[in-house]
A and B are shown apart, each in its own frame.
Chain A
């Protein structure tokens, strides 16, 4: 650590005003503040809030919280692969196959997203914003394993430019950047984002694994079975119990199958106070209530236990809805915002057969309404206090 600090101090003058790499200052600054907590102090005059937990530290915690879901997702990719080709593999090679399948997606997502962010920061002479640290990790986790890398690159570039930089960069975006990436993929390349053939990879990764699918193989996700009104079965026809959907060894997008791993991430986020427990709780509450109503009315064969653990619902509740930039800011607003996300996600899932999963669209829809909800919550508060003052 000491050596790194010394090295940074040594090359720093080159990047400062008048140095030979002056133009790359924002690049250097971005790396330096990522590696070390900046020691600049706030001014002596006026009221200042200063905390060592700046946004880079917050982002790192979210990335940390994503790790359990990512690891289980990698294992699941390998597990489904070897199940599909009818081979048994030990724990290590199962995980290693998933690791090889997922790693290129992470690299592409970060390279494209950060590349654009760095380029725009250079052009506009801004500091490099750290918002993409989380988005870049979220993007590979919410796509099917067979999504081609170039599509992820195109979608990431689209989302970073049109959902984020156009609105003024990190902290200014209206929509969740990772979900815009997924929505772009979903509408632009529907055949690669849904259906039976994209959630399980049967080809080899860099010569590792690979084989012919076994007889009776079907790569459909449990939710698409549910949308068609059939029983839930895995890829080789074995039934899926609630515990399977909770532990996550089922077909689905990479990081969202395991509710258990997502809950571990949720605990990290809540313990560190990074995510809002109000939003998380109310998304689950809204989803559970709506799912139970639909189940009792006979609209769906899945009860609330399944609806919450299957598909991307838990992932959206924990990592997407709680995005502090695009969500509500007021406490009452957070309850309304979260509750409606849960309700709308289940409504889309059950009643629109074209979209077996509704969590993505529900979060994006409520992103639009978040400022409106906040406005009325604040407005109601002002009216109540005015009434009290005038009474």
Chain B
């Protein structure tokens, strides 16, 4: 089930081969949906689900897809999955799906998806592909949630919409930092995560 190789496939993308902070893919959505924890969490789950199943489906079809039209086939598979996810969100989490607006639809163009399909699913069996999808999804989710935590904590004083900075602080003159609500701060927080990650992993320093 989890051989040594599969373990590496599953755990690699969480740190050493992280799609966001090492390969620098999927940055656009990391900036767009991280102003609060809740949309970031839903986005992470959506992307992980789409990525895992797209990887499996493409991996199952890898021997019959003609090489020339493989991108189109991948897009069709991903688009179908994204529409399913989008409909599920609209049915069961309408408020969050309104906040995420087009970004669920834009999962289709997320660089992580095409990257994993091209680089992994087309050349590997379904089970490792599934693990690869889940692993990359978790790697993406971890970074998104860290960024969203800092942005929501400093920008709104809340975590998952629950106020964590006590009212007394505001009475003493504390104020929420509006810059954290704006997308540029997501880039700076992501930069800080990369900074700490490189300090912890000296072999990744250039």
Contact = CB atoms under 8 A, between A and B. Distances in A.
Contacts of A162: 188
B178 A187 contact: yes
A150 interface: yes
Contacts of B179: 184, 187-188
B182 interface: yes
A189 B175 contact: yes
A299 interface: no
Contacts of A148: 173
A191 interface: yes
Contacts of B178: 187-190
Contacts, number: 20
A184 B154 CA distance: 14
A192 interface: yes
Nearest to B182: A187
A318 B179 CA distance: 28
Contacts of B173: 148, 150
Determine which residue in A154, A187, A189, A190 has the highest number of CB atoms from chain B within 10 A of its CB, and name it.
A187
A105 to B, nearest CB: 15
Nearest to A192: B175
A148 B188 CA distance: 24
A154 B176 CA distance: 12
B177 interface: yes
Determine which residue in A151, A188, A190 has the highest number of CB atoms from chain B within 10 A of its CB, and name it.
A188
Q: Interface residues of A: mostly helix, strand, loop or mixed?
A: helix
A189 B177 contact: yes
Q: Interface residues of B: mostly helix, strand, loop or mixed?
A: loop
Interface string B166-190: 0000000111011110100000100
B188 A188 contact: no
A189 B170 CA distance: 13
Contacts of A187: 178-179, 182
B62 to A, nearest CB: 43
A151 B178 CA distance: 12
A154 B174 CA distance: 12
A187 B185 CA distance: 11
B172 to A, nearest CB: 9
A378 to B, nearest CB: 28
Contacts of B182: 187
Contacts of B180: 188
B153 to A, nearest CB: 14
Contacts of A188: 177-180
Contacts of A150: 173-174
Interface in A131-149: 148
A154 B175 CA distance: 12
Contacts of A190: 178
A273 B104 CA distance: 58
A191 B174 CA distance: 12
Interface string A149-180: 01100100000001000000000000000000
A187 B178 CA distance: 6
A190 B177 CA distance: 9
B33 to A, nearest CB: 20
Contacts of B174: 150
Contacts of B175: 151, 189, 191-192
A189 B182 CA distance: 12
Nearest to A187: B179
Contacts of B188: 162
Determine which residue in B175, B180, B188 has the highest number of CB atoms from chain A within 10 A of its CB, and name it.
B175
Contacts of B177: 154, 188-189
A191 B175 CA distance: 10
B166 to A, nearest CB: 16
B179 to A, nearest CB: 4
Nearest to B195: A166
A332 to B, nearest CB: 32
A148 B175 CA distance: 10
B205 to A, nearest CB: 15
A187 B173 CA distance: 17
A162 B179 CA distance: 14
A347 B153 CA distance: 36
Determine which residue in B179, B180, B188 has the highest number of CB atoms from chain A within 10 A of its CB, and name it.
B179
A351 B182 CA distance: 22
B185 to A, nearest CB: 9
Contacts of A192: 175
Contacts of A189: 175, 177-178
Interface in B145-176: 173-175
A33 B51 CA distance: 59
A357 B25 CA distance: 37
A150 B170 CA distance: 13
A151 B173 CA distance: 10
Nearest to A162: B188
Interface string A291-322: 00000000000000000000000000000000
Interface string A6-37: 00000000000000000000000000000000
7 contacts: A148-B173, A150-B173, A184-B179, A187-B178, A187-B182, A188-B177, A189-B175
Task: Name the 5 nearest CB pairs between A and B, nearest first.
Answer: A188-B179, A188-B177, A187-B179, A188-B178, A189-B175
Given A150-B174, A188-B180, 17 more contacts: A148-B173, A150-B173, A151-B175, A154-B177, A162-B188, A184-B179, A187-B178, A187-B179, A187-B182, A188-B177, A188-B178, A188-B179, A189-B175, A189-B177, A189-B178, A190-B178, A192-B175
